[in-house]
Amino acid sequence: MTGPTTNRREFGCRVAGAAVTALAAASLPAADRPPDPMARTLEGLMRMIEARHGDSLSAEQLKDVARSVYRSLYAAEQMKKVPLANSDEPAFAFRADVPRSPSRD
């Protein structure tokens, strides 16, 4: 694969930029937002969430969930745009959370 390569720092900056953009877009009134290709996906996910948890969530909580789901969808779309080679490594360290056994003092 030829073309520009992205290092971890650039990838992190792009992800952070996508998150800020998503927050800004989510805070706009609905009339000011550009047409959103993810609207149908968001609508379907919100129908599922309302069907499963609608009776225990208020209208305000459902709006908060919708904003959160939208931000996640938007961030995922932005991350898909970052070109990565198969050899690019993730920029995180895995650490297993293993419960400690009680001490036997």
Per-residue pLDDT of the chain (105 residues; tens, 9 = 90+): 444 566 777 777 677 666 666 666 666 566 555 556 788 888 889 999 999 998 998 989 999 999 999 999 988 888 889 888 888 887 777 777 787 777 665
**pLDDT at position 93:** 74
Main-chain dihedrals φ then ψ at residue 52, nearest 5 degrees:
-85, -40
The angle, 0 to 180 degrees and rounded to 10, between the axes of the packed helices 59-80 and 8-27 is 140
Annotated domain spans of the chain: 8-80
pLDDT of amino acid 1: 44
For residue 9, the model assigns a pLDDT of 74
